[in-house]
């Protein structure tokens, strides 16, 4: 199956930018601990676009969202960004003060406006809201691939009113993930985490594309349950269609698992020996070693989502697989917040062909070959 992907118009190819006001939708939704950025990975991905525009003499207006709380502020993000490139912080989205600051901007300067999701208009893709934001600029740049699966005002609304381009990080994500749509063979896909319902379309599509799919995490538990195994107190869902997938020859479920017993102690059990009082918290060592070994013969590897209860520190299975991928000669792509955070904590991110900053957006792109944010740029170019 060969995909002819459209080449996205990239801002990096635009010449006359001096004096132009450029509105950049960045992906700055990073974890904060005590008001400080704890993992700057997404910020670092968007710095090249901002510095490119500043050097070209543009007036850069950055917009983004943070967290789920409408009261959440991007101030700590601006503070962190200033370590990499000078950027002013404006603690609101609209109003006379914002208008004046933008009117007074000098060529080669940048500002960050407050949290886009401080109002509901952003998520409702409100046309008036999108138009107001568009009025700030001459050009729109989307550098937030991680949010491109959402049909929000800043993603699909603004491109209706301005010439639109992909940012450097966005274009990079698109180009690299597009390669996975036309994989080298043999192709191995490792899928973990939870939310079986949302990952079902992806599994259904990839059983016909991948040579092997290794499923762990709560997804693996769901498939074990569908195969009739006892999964005890584990996180698992009853999903229609899971049984058909669980029995597909291309899908591999764990052979052994790490379980937490009622008394909070842990032990490794074969999947046929799990007890009703057990809770599965990771794939077992035998499974991890066997899968990591199998990966050595793959030419394309894609991994998204952890194999264990990541929040509680059960990361051994995921670590072993990441190490296996890093050793393999395959073209490798990893994504998903927890997976990437773990790879970074192990200082392994340079050992993969591509590390995606996108979680849900990556999975949606692979399932549908496109995203609302991609379509908005493509349609804009056709106009």
Task: Answer whether 275's CB lies under 8 Å from 268's CB.
Answer: no
Task: Answer whether 153's CB lies under 8 Å from 130's CB.
Answer: yes
Tokens describing residue 305:
């989502």
Tell me the three state secondary structure of residue 276.
coil
**HSE toward the beta carbon, residue 328, CA cutoff 13 A:** 27
One-character DSSP codes across 158-197: GGGTS-EEE-HHHHHHHHHHHHHTS--SSEEEEE-SS-HH
Q: What angle do CA 132, 62, 358 make, to 5 degrees?
A: 110
In this structure, the strands spanning 59-63 and 21-26 are parallel
Residues annotated as catalytic are 42, 195, 337, 360
Tokens describing residue 191:
């899928």
Cα four-point dihedral sign 183, 186, 191, 197 = positive
Length of the chain: 383
């Amino acid at each position: 199956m060969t995909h002819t992907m459209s080449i996205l118009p990239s801002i990096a190819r635009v010449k006359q930018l001096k004096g132009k006001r450029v509105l950049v939708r960045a992906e700055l939704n990073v974890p904060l601990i005590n008001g400080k950025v704890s993992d700057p990975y997404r910020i670092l991905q968007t710095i090249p676009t901002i510095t490119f525009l500043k050097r070209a003499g543009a007036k850069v207006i950055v917009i983004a969202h943070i967290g789920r709380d409408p009261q959440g502020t991007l101030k700590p993000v601006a503070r962190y960004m200033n370590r990499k490139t000078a950027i002013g912080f404006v603690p609101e989205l609209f109003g006379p003060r914002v208008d004046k600051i933008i009117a007074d901007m000098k060529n080669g300067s940048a500002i960050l406006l407050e949290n886009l999701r401080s109002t509901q208009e952003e998520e409702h893709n409100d046309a008036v809201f999108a138009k107001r934001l568009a009025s700030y600029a001459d050009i729109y740049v989307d550098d937030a691939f991680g949010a491109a699966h959402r049909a929000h005002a800043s993603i699909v609304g603004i491109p209706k009113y301005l010439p639109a381009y992909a940012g450097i990080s966005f274009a990079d994500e698109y180009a690299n993930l597009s390669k996975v749509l036309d994989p080298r063979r043999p192709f191995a896909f490792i899928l973990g985490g939870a939310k079986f319902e949302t990952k079902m379309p992806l599994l259904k599509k990839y059983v016909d594309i991948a040579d092997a799919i290794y499923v762990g995490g709560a997804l693996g538990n769901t498939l074990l349950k569908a195969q009739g195994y006892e999964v005890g107190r584990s996180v698992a869902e009853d999903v229609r269609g899971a049984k058909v997938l669980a029995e597909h020859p291309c899908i591999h479920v764990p052979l052994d698992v790490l379980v937490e017993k009622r008394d909070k102690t842990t032990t490794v059990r074969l999947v046929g020996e799990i007890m009703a009082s057990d809770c599965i918290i990771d794939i077992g060592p035998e499974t991890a070693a066997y899968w990591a070994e199998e990966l050595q013969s793959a030419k394309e590897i894609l991994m998204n989502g952890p194999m264990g209860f990541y929040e509680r520190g059960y990361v051994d299975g995921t670590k072993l697989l990441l190490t296996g991928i890093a050793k393999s000669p395959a073209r490798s792509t990893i994504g998903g917040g927890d997976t990437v955070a773990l790879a970074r904590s192990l200082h392994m991110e340079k050992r993969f062909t591509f590390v995606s900053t996108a979680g849900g957006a990556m999975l949606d792109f692979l399932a549908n070959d496109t995203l609302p944010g991609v379509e908005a740029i493509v349609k804009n170019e056709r106009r």
